[in-house]
Amino acid sequence: MSNTKKVTLNIFRFNSETDYLPHYQKVELEVSQEEVVLDLLNRIKWDIDGSFSYRRSCRHGICGSCAVKVNNKTVLACKERVFDLIDIFGTDWTIDPSSKSRAIKDLVVDKKDFWEKYNAVTPYLVADIDEHPECENIILPETAEKLEEADYCIQCGCCYYACPVIEVNEDYFGPAAFVKAYRFNADVRDNAKIDRLKTVDPIGPGVWDCVKCFECSEACPKDIDPQSKITKLHNQLFEEGVAENNVASRHAVGFKKSIEKHGILDEGMLVAYSEGCAVVKHIPEALEMFKKGKIVMPWNMPKSKNMDEIKKLVKISSTAKF
Amino acid sequence: MENLKYALYTGCTARESTPELLKSTLAVAKKLGIELVLLDEASCCGASHLQDFDDFLSLVLNARNICYAEKLGLPMVTICNTCQLNTAMTKKRLDENPELKAKVNEKLAEVGLEYKGTSEVRHFLYALIDDYGLENISSKVEKPLSSLNIAAFYGCHNIRPSELHDGSNLNENPYKPTSLDRLIEALEGNSVDYEHKNKCCGFHVDLQAPRTANLLSGHALLDAMDNNADVMVTPCPLCHLNLDVKQKSISKTVGRDINLPVIHLPQMIGLALGISPSDLGLQHHVTEVATS
């Protein structure tokens, strides 16, 4: 069996100082089983076109600088094995910067918005620490475990540039900032939990705008699972009483109310409870749905069997307050 | 072939705003000779919103749902991607964490139930392909879909996080899913290749961020239309609601007219099996589906 394969690469080329629009350069390479994407980028620069630009530094999956997209999959170029990509996509690849709209030169992007949002969540420990401590501030293993994998984030931006909300809502903080907010909120030594929660609570930039698509968790090269940290920030908002009473928080709480009453959701009442008076804006779509038999009237609202069980479980299992 | 039998977890949407999904699922199962036992005792899965508010309660309720499939001694099938995600995630967390499982079972014992972890949980799409088989489905086709360009829209929660679904979704690759496309081809339809097939429709922020939801749904619909799709098909009723019901609103947001029928997975199969459009509930769609 051959240890090499031929791949065709369409490389994104753009110089923001001289080009009006980007173009793609086609490159064919014979690649071997041992190579990662960064090896191919290096070969293009060293052997084919010295003007080709991309970021790289540590070459060990630690610095996070070499994040690019291959056929829309965000990867760390130094970690992604070429034969693994061939298994997924075959041998025709398009290599793009992690964000085409932020490209400065070829695969190099301007991460200004990433860092601004990252900085906005107070991404460091806030604590009054004795300048001359008499002993170490020891953290027990079970306490450290609460940070989960959030500590391993290398700020590569893979999750951020994979997140679809980032492309349509310029205010949205994005998964990397949320992971960092969770990381320090889960640290027992930290004193800024409430402030961070107030930062991530507002609709628009905050956690309520997460679409729950798991693109971030899929993209993360360090297996941090940002989506689970976003869920935990939601939980903390309720636990700490920080969650504002708005359409999004009521929507989450409305599920419990509806389950307690019907077992399954009363979809109409859930929207009404979440929206409050603003529910009237849904009337045109509701009428369209009604005409097509997509709305259940209150007197026909189905219920789960054995409702007494469900009511009891809600009563004895629920601890969250709103 | 051995008779297939599953416990059907319908989820809430198929009981309410997408009645055609339940109707077409039952019709297709009957036609294929698959027995479905409805889990009428089941509650809502929390749809990942209850999980934001009360994680432990969502675990208890989802475990209870699985208990009822276990009592029947059947694997559970779901017909909603988000139900699949939340049920499978509960199962994984309990199966991997004996301490958490014990805490949940302590509550379930109060109503005479015990979660054991014996029932598998799979989406109907993957049960059909894996257990029934594409070749067998293909052999039942009475009205090939050869005149239709069909855009598969996978929906997030069947394919991501891939680690959770490993094995139960045929190890679908989230960056290049193939199951729906292969099914379309087995029904002799033309599968449309387009970039947004594995992207998010934005359903879960529809109330608090309607512009975000409209843009994400709009990108998918326009991409499919621009690649000559006649119809879009999805295994997720939540995606369906966004993509079908909101097309007028989405058109305003994206500044282009959109008129693309969006049908449910079993409706597509049912059409190819020769089931009548009315028995598949195609009249329930807000964006009209031409049935001639």
Q: What percent of chain B has pLDDT over 70?
A: 99
Mutate to test the interface with A, among B37, B41, B44 (most CBs of A within 10 A): B44
DSSP one-letter string for B111-177: TT------S-EEEHHHHIIIIIIHHHHHHT-SS--TT-EEEE---GGGTSSHHHHTTTTTT--TTS-
Mean pLDDT of chain B: 97
Structure tokens at A289: 């749905």
B26 vs B159: CA distance, rounded Å: 24
A255 vs B98: CA distance, rounded Å: 27
* pLDDT on residue A138: 85
A260 vs A270: CA distance, rounded Å: 12
Instruction: Identify whether the C-beta of residue A195 lies closer than 8 Å to the C-beta of residue A206.
Output: no
pLDDT digit string, tens, across residues B27-45: 999 999 999 999 999 999 9
Three-class secondary structure of residue A95 per DSSP: strand
A276 vs A250: CA distance, rounded Å: 9
Pick from A218, A295, A304: which is nearest to B43 by CB?
Answer: A304
Tell me whether 0.90 is exceeded by the ipTM: yes
Distances (CA, A) of A97 to A111, A157, A163, A180, A233: 11, 11, 14, 24, 30
pLDDT digit string, tens, across residues A251-270: 999 999 999 999 999 999 99
**pLDDT average, residue stretch A74-98:** 97
A160 vs A304: CA distance, rounded Å: 40
* pLDDT on residue A281: 94
Taking CB atoms and an 8 Å limit, are A289 and B245 in contact across chains?
yes
Report the first-to-last Cα separation within chain A, whole angstroms: 63
Three-class secondary structure of residue A224 per DSSP: coil
A212 vs A226: CA distance, rounded Å: 10
At B2, the pLDDT band (50, 70, 90 cuts) reads: confident
Nearest-CA distance from A159 to chain B in Å? 13
What sign does the dihedral B10-B15-B21-B23 (CA atoms) show? positive
* pLDDT on residue A236: 97
What sign does the dihedral A231-A233-A238-A244 (CA atoms) show? negative
Q: Is the bond leading into A284 cis (omega within 30 degrees of zero)?
A: no
pLDDT digit string, tens, across residues A17-48: 999 999 999 999 999 999 999 999 999 999 99
At A248, the pLDDT band (50, 70, 90 cuts) reads: very high
Q: Which residue of B has its CA nearest to A247?
A: B208
Q: Is the pLDDT of residue B249 over 70?
A: yes
Q: Is the pLDDT of residue A2 over 70?
A: no
B292 vs B272: CA distance, rounded Å: 13
B104 vs B107: CA distance, rounded Å: 5
Residues in chain B: 292
pLDDT digit string, tens, across residues A126-168: 998 888 999 988 889 999 999 999 999 999 999 999 999 999 9
**pLDDT average, residue stretch B278-286:** 97
At A1, the pLDDT band (50, 70, 90 cuts) reads: low
pLDDT digit string, tens, across residues A189-202: 999 999 999 999 99
A39 vs A56: CA distance, rounded Å: 11
* pLDDT on residue A221: 97
- B residues 88-117 closer than 8 Å to A (CB): 107-108, 110-111, 113
A132-136, A241-245, B180-184, B257-261 — which is least confidently predicted?
A: A132-136
The helix/strand count (H/E) of chain A reads as 14, 7
pTM: 0.96
* pLDDT on residue A129: 84
Pick from B111, B200, B286: which is nearest to A289 by CB?
Answer: B286
Pick from A217, A252, A285: which is nearest to B52 by CB?
Answer: A252
- H or E element: which one contains A67? strand A67-70
pLDDT digit string, tens, across residues B65-76: 999 999 999 999
Which of B172, B214, B219, B184 is CA-nearest to residue B199?
Answer: B219
pLDDT digit string, tens, across residues B125-173: 999 999 999 999 999 999 999 999 999 999 999 999 999 999 999 999 9
Mutate to test the interface with B, among A259, A270, A300 (most CBs of B within 10 A): A259
